[in-house]
Structure 1
Amino acid sequence: MSPGGFPRGRPALTFPGVPHTRRVDELICSAKGCRSQAAWQLLWNNPKLHVPDRRKTWLACEEHRASLSDFLGVRGFLRETAPIDDRDRLEG
């Protein structure tokens, strides 16, 4: 785990208002140190910080899907898990 207890090493997607430059085939897992292509998106929010409809996204490869889901789930943050090829979810 990195400082602060987060299992990821980088944000999964760009910030709102910043041009999205990654192609879908270049999306990599959000787990710290992982360079594998992502197969899953984990949609989450922190109810203490975000309005109920807000969704943040972590990306996960097959190997890290469970551990990243568990990290978010135990905190009550995980809202949904969807395959990466559900492209309309990645655009938002």
Structure 2
Amino acid sequence: MSIFDFAAGTDTASEAGAVCSRKACRAAASWQLLWNNPKIHTPERRKTWLACADHREWLEDYLQTRGLWKETRPLAAGDGERLEQDI
């Protein structure tokens, strides 16, 4: 994929559904990382980042280092569309 494809909106990963939350990554997501910031969210609230296989560890480490990570789950078919509405 080139920059021209991205600008034209022909990003195949985003057309297929959920995309990795890592900056500049346009790969299809296969994991959901659940987190919350206890300073601003209620304990039961869960925010979601999506991760591809390559960036799962990096994103988990980022959240864990800051005390925000709660859980990592596989992204099931159909979850991506629901999560995109929640984000």
TM-score (norm 1): 0.67
> Where does 1:44-59 land on structure 2 (aligned, <5 Å)?
44-59=35-50
Partner of 1:18: none
Are positions 1:72 and 2:68 aligned together?
no
Distance 1:49 1:69 in 2: 20
RMSD (Å), alpha carbons: 2.1
Partner of 1:82: 73
Greater helix content: 2
Unaligned runs of 5+ in 2: 1-13
Distance 1:39 1:29 in 2: 8
Q: Matched residue pairs, number? A: 69
TM-score (norm 2): 0.71
Displacement of 1:26 in angstroms is: 1.1
- After TM superposition, the runs of 4+ consecutive aligned structure 1 residues lying more than 2 A away are 89-92
Partner of 2:27: 36
- Percent identity for Structure 1 against Structure 2: 54
**Which is higher, the Rg of structure 1 or of structure 2?**
2
Unaligned runs of 5+ in 1: 1-21
Displacement of 1:52 in angstroms is: 0.0
